């Protein structure tokens, strides 16, 4: 590192990550930076009660590059903003504890910023099951990565480099936050999508580089996946309300399906089951087709493949139910419910 090197700040919200935090910090601090750059790691701890904070405090005493701050509200958006306020870098890189990073992850982010001149850059969102993963996590990763299940989202395309509407995690020049502001603290989920939408609508550009490589470890149990997508769906209408922008068809389909399913139950209760049966058959055929797409693209093990339909249904039903409840709350009083404010893992 040369004298007078500029700082790159890694900002990380976390809560109760005792089993992962040491390996994550080691990976983050081992990033290989250009010689004119130095690194700092700012972690906002959301009042962990499993020993995470003690591990972080001990690390901060050993390594001057690490700063640990409190995040009393515990949610991601407040943690990001608190870490951002503490950060000293002219470039800000967001990291997630459950993601593993290539040694040149930050260096490639810096290169993408310089190449694109964008307000935010990042890499594709790559999901892989852990080395000792059971078939359910393998199924979750396969469904997540499939272009068929993802509806063609460019963020899941591991080979795509170019302009996008949103990007995984993110790397920003500090000037981006001075121009567009920080993260919306009313949002428990989707705060990154909302911030990217604010950038695009304000005339900024977002860039994805395939050279920015990381691996996300998805949830390992079906109930966790359902709760995750329930929250994603719930907070989406709040983002749409803030910007007066309708959702894309990809975001509307799960809610339309759940609404149709609910409406078809009414005639079924009166003895007319045909609409419900027809809808169930149509959806089953769709899930089978999507599962076939997963099998053709990613070749999961047989034990994982038979679990993929349940994962797809958890995605759709969780997101759909969440979207309907969120839309109702937006219309009713515009405030999020406390039960959807607790992050799940």
- Between helix 249-269 and helix 308-332 the angle, nearest 10°, is 90
Distance of alpha carbon 140 from alpha carbon 100, whole angstroms:
17
The 3-state DSSP class for residue 189 equals: coil
For 36-96, strand residue ranges (E) read 37-45, 66-70, 91-94
What length is written for the chain? 345
pLDDT of residue 155: 80
Strand, helix or coil for residue 48: coil
- Quickly list DSSP for 225-240: HHHHHHHHHHHHHHHH
Q: What is the reported pLDDT for 86? A: 95
pLDDT attached to residue 168:
92
Cα Rg of the chain (Å, integer): 21
pLDDT attached to residue 246: 60
Q: What does the pLDDT read at residue 29?
A: 95
**Residue 6: strand pairing partners:** 37
Tell me: the pLDDT tens digits for 248-293?
667 788 888 899 988 898 888 888 888 889 999 999 999 999 999 9
Cα distance between residue 110 and residue 122, in whole Å: 10
Domain residue extents for the chain: 1-97, 225-340
Show Cβ contacts of residue 248 under 8 Å, excluding neighbours closer than 6 positions. Answer: none
pLDDT on residue 247: 55
User: From the CB of residue 192, how many other CB atoms can be counted at a distance below 10 Å?
Assistant: 22
**Do residues 303 and 135 make contact, with C-beta atoms less than 8 angstroms apart?**
yes
Residue with token string 């049966």: 277
Which CATH code fits 1-97?
3.90.550.10
Among 165, 245, 169, 156, CA closest to 205: 165
Q: Do residues 218 and 129 make contact, with C-beta atoms less than 8 angstroms apart?
A: yes
Q: Which pLDDT value is given to residue 188? A: 79
- Please list the ranges in the chain whose pLDDT falls under 70: 1-5, 151-152, 246-249, 338, 340-345
pTM of the prediction?
0.83
What pLDDT score was predicted for residue 344?
Answer: 54
């Amino acid at each position: 590192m040369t004298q007078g090197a500029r700082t790159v700040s890694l900002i990380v919200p976390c809560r109760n990550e005792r089993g992962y935090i040491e390996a994550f910090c080691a990976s983050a601090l081992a990033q290989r930076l250009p010689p004119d750059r130095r690194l700092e790691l700012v972690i906002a701890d959301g009042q962990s009660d499993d020993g995470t904070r003690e591990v972080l405090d001990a690390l901060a005493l050993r390594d001057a590059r690490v700063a640990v701050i409190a995040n009393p509200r515990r949610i991601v958006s407040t943690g990001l903003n608190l870490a951002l306020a503490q950060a000293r870098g002219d470039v800000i890189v967001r990291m997630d504890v459950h993601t593993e990073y290539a040694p040149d992850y930050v260096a490639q982010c810096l290169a993408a910023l310089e190449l694109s001149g964008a307000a935010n850059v990042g890499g594709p969102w790559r999901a892989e099951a852990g080395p000792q993963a059971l078939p359910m996590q393998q199924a979750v990763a396969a469904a997540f990565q499939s272009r068929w299940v993802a509806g063609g989202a460019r963020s899941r395309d591991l080979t795509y480099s170019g302009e996008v509407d949103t990007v995984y995690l993110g790397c920003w020049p500090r000037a981006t936050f001075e121009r567009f502001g920080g993260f919306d603290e009313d949002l428990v989920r989707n705060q990154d999508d909302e911030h990217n939408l604010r950038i695009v609508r304000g005339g900024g550009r977002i860039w994805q580089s395939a050279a920015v490589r990381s691996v996300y470890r998805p949830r390992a149990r079906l109930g966790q996946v359902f709760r995750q997508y329930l929250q994603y769906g719930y907070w989406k209408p709040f983002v749409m309300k803030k910007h007066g922008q309708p959702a894309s068809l990809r975001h509307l389909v799960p809610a339309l399906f759940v609404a149709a399913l609910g409406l078809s139950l009414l005639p079924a209760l009166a003895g007319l089951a045909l609409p419900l049966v027809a809808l169930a058959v149509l959806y089953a055929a769709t899930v089978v087709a999507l599962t076939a797409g997963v099998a053709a693209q990613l070749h999961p093990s047989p034990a994982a493949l038979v679990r993929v339909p349940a994962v797809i249904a958890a995605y759709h039903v969780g997101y759909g139910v969440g979207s309907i409840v969120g839309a109702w709350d937006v219309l009713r009083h515009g405030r999020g419910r406390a039960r959807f404010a607790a992050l799940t893992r």
